[in-house]
Amino acid sequence: MKILTCTQIRELDKYTIEHEPIKSIDLMERAAKALTRGITSVWSSDTHIVVFAGPGNNGGDALAVARMMAEQGYAVNAYLFNVNKSLSPDCATNKDRIEQCKSIKNFTEVTDEFDPPVLSAKTLVIDGLFGSGLNKPLAGGFASLVKYINQSECKVASIDIPSGLMAENNSFNARTNIIQADYTFTLQQKKLAFLFAENQVFIGKLRVLDIRLSAEGLKNIDADFTMTEESDIREMLRQRNDFWHKGTAGSALLVAGKYGMAGASVLAAKACMRAGVGKVTVHVPLRNNDILQAAVPEAIVSHDSDGNMFTEAVASDDFDAMGIGPGLGTEETTAIAMISQIRRTQAPTVIDADGLNILASHRAWLQQIPVDSILTPHPVEFERLAGGRFNDSYERMEKAVEMARSMHIYIIVKDHYSMLCMPNGKVVFNSTGNSGMATAGSGDVLTGIITALLARGYSQKEACIIGMFLHGLAGDIAAEELGKESLMASDIINCLPKAFKRMED
């Protein structure tokens, strides 16, 4: 699924109008019908409706919705804010239509002073002040109106995007001047801003409404941002060869787990095996031997010369992929051994957890990371890697894209919508996963899965996309069976077979 920028959304609207063909006012009417169906499916006709419409096309949508809801028996009070005496053509048309609508309880065009209506707990505000084309923070009277709405007890349904929220970059937005919606009914596709954690307070429950914009036009747009869907994974997954044996199904090396952190290596190894690799070798301190042998009997255990931590690189020529970092520790001896291991390993490599923490404290070593390596930080780990804090997720994404491009590596920033930033500057968001997965060891599981996929012969891009999706899907299946509150990292591993089977079926 493509995630379009504001400019691309306008291009798609224009393409639809020209090639369907359809008049822009009729396309607005189509959108309004979809919005009306969405809103009326949630709120019954005894709800008191107040519509706030701005002067642009978002306001035109709102006026059309007000008219349609009034015709269905809703008591609608509509306010059109035209303080600059300038409406978009389609908004002006819908103003004329609503003035002719006898079912509207009250329609007011605000051109100067505004005395706001009382907004009670029984009121639904339909927010159509500003849409996805907004490019600066709200100020003045509009900012005051937003604050008034947010401070009231009313429910809010935003059309396309909460007013005040920009569709992409909100790094320097005035967050107090953004509508806090209970529902957002967005048109055709999710906006980029919807994928960032700090914006969820404004969006509420999200519904994406299909308004039948041109599929051909969408196909022709080269989007920098996409979101993975099940169909994408089904196309990528390869059928397991009937004549495979453990030697042809890939051999993976995991360097993980100092003494006291053996669990990280156990989780990564189990996940690696469950992701279908032929052989897994886990390099651990000698004191972790018994734990690994008992917990993952399918794995081969390689011993470090030190009993407590990783101290020396191991031969890696016979491995098809390597994962390094989970529970590794950050002692200086381990750090030196880790960068040595990374430099000498020719196979595709996943770096996670303490591997990232070591790089963050030795940032000059980042230049020694082989091209096409995969880094899997959570947001705080990425801030350490990047050497600074960010205003919001958009800034973090920009920096991750910059690093991925300049170092020619793959960076997965783990979040609710984990994002894969690739060397070509493109970003792929993952659509699976849930808050129950916010638990210790979940990242170790992802490392094991991606390492297995690399060892099996998938490209770095494929391994990252498939790995993120199956990791999240297994977590979703675990949450369905066990609930989010009790979910543990090992539950994700246990549900990996069901995730694979769902994709195969």
SS (H, E, C) 81-109: ECCCCCCCHHHHHHHHHHHCCCCCCEEEE
**What is the CATH classification number for the domain harbouring 106?**
3.40.50.10260
Dist CA 222 CA 205 (whole Å): 29
On whether both 291 and 433 belong to a single domain, the answer is: yes
Domain of 17 in residue numbering reads as 2-222
On whether both 240 and 201 belong to a single domain, the answer is: no
DSSP 8-state symbol, 15: H
On whether both 117 and 186 belong to a single domain, the answer is: yes
Sign of torsion over alpha carbons 397, 400, 406, 411: negative
Residue at which a domain ends, from 222, 245, 271? 222
Q: How many helices (H) and strands (E) does the chain have?
A: 17, 18
Structure tokens at 28: 């607005």
Return the bridge partners of 449, or none. none
For the chain, what is the largest distance between any 2 Cα atoms, rounded to a whole number of angstroms? 86
Q: Which of helix, strand or coil describes residue 50?
A: strand
- Please list, in sequence order, all residues whose beta carbon lies within 8 angstroms of the beta carbon of residue 65, skipping any fewer than 6 positions away: 32, 35, 36, 39, 51, 126, 128, 159
Per-residue model confidence (pLDDT) at position 259: 97
Residue at which a domain ends, from 192, 222, 252? 222
Among 2, 3, 4, 6, smallest CA distance to 131 is for 6
On whether both 202 and 271 belong to a single domain, the answer is: no
Q: What is the pTM of this model?
A: 0.95
* Positions in the chain short of pLDDT 70: none
Tens digit of each residue's pLDDT (9 = 90 or more) over 41-57: 999 999 999 999 999 99
CB 72 within 8 Å of CB 66 = no
On whether both 213 and 244 belong to a single domain, the answer is: no
**What is the CATH classification number for the domain harbouring 328?**
3.40.1190.20
**Total domains, the chain:** 2
CB 137 within 8 Å of CB 163 = no
On whether both 153 and 130 belong to a single domain, the answer is: yes
Dist CA 97 CA 81 (whole Å): 16
On whether both 218 and 234 belong to a single domain, the answer is: no
Per-residue model confidence (pLDDT) at position 321: 98
Residue at which a domain ends, from 189, 222, 255? 222
Among 167, 132, 125, 169, smallest CA distance to 146 is for 125
On whether both 260 and 213 belong to a single domain, the answer is: no
Compute CA distances 503 → 240, 298, 436, 479, whole Å.
13, 25, 22, 18
On whether both 366 and 324 belong to a single domain, the answer is: yes
Q: Map tokens 């909100």 to a residue.
A: 170
Dist CA 178 CA 193 (whole Å): 13
Backbone φ and ψ for 345, nearest 5 degrees, come out as -85, 125
On whether both 356 and 485 belong to a single domain, the answer is: yes
Count CB neighbours of 360 within 10 A. Answer: 20
2 exposure class (CB count in 10 Å sphere: 0-12, 13-18, 19+): middle
**How far separated are the first and last CA of the chain, in Å rounded?**
21
Tens digit of each residue's pLDDT (9 = 90 or more) over 178-205: 999 999 999 999 999 999 999 999 999 9
Give the DSSP letter string of 202-226.
HH-EEEEE-----HHHHHH---SEE
Tens digit of each residue's pLDDT (9 = 90 or more) over 337-374: 999 999 999 999 999 999 999 999 999 999 999 999 99
Give 3-state DSSP helix, strand, coil % of the chain, rounded to 5.
45, 15, 40
Compute CA distances 493 → 96, 185, 198, whole Å.
60, 35, 29
On whether both 314 and 455 belong to a single domain, the answer is: yes
Dist CA 177 CA 143 (whole Å): 5
On whether both 314 and 333 belong to a single domain, the answer is: yes
Dist CA 424 CA 347 (whole Å): 21
Which amino acid type is present at position 457?
G
Per-residue model confidence (pLDDT) at position 53: 98
CB 427 within 8 Å of CB 419 = yes
Across the beta sheet with 106-110, the strand order is: 106-110, 75-81, 48-53, 123-128, 155-159, 183-187, 205-209
